[in-house]
Amino acid sequence: MAHPKKSANAEKQRRFREKQKALGKKLIRGYVTPAAMENYRELAEKTGWTDSDMLSNSLRITYAAYKNGQIRLLNQWLKEQDLKKQLLLKKEQASNKSE
């Protein structure tokens, strides 16, 4: 007979996975939003990195920024890039509607 706590935990994990899928998130190394998945695909396409390479390099970049006291600068740059991307998408959508 299965241990009740073990089966309860497995059921809880199953419900969590189903909830994440229902929210449109996909499991890579954790559940990511559709926007994050798009960024992941773009980075993989541009760099040719594997999932493991991406994780390793992102940790290296983050650690280097931390050691040099530039986490705030890194976060600001990432936010600016995201904003630029969003504005570009809006411009493309506006030009598609006008055509």
pLDDT value, residue 46: 94
Per-residue pLDDT for 28 more than 80? no
What residues make up the domain containing 70? 50-99
Instruction: Between 3 and 73, name the one with better pLDDT.
Output: 73
Per-residue pLDDT for 55 more than 90? no
Number of domains the chain contains: 1
19: in domain? no
30: in domain? no
Instruction: Give the residue-averaged pLDDT of 42-58.
Output: 90
17: in domain? no
Per-residue pLDDT for 2 more than 70? no
DSSP states of 32-78: E-HHHHHHHHHHHHHH---HHHHHHHHHHHHHHHHHTT-HHHHHHHH
pLDDT value, residue 68: 95
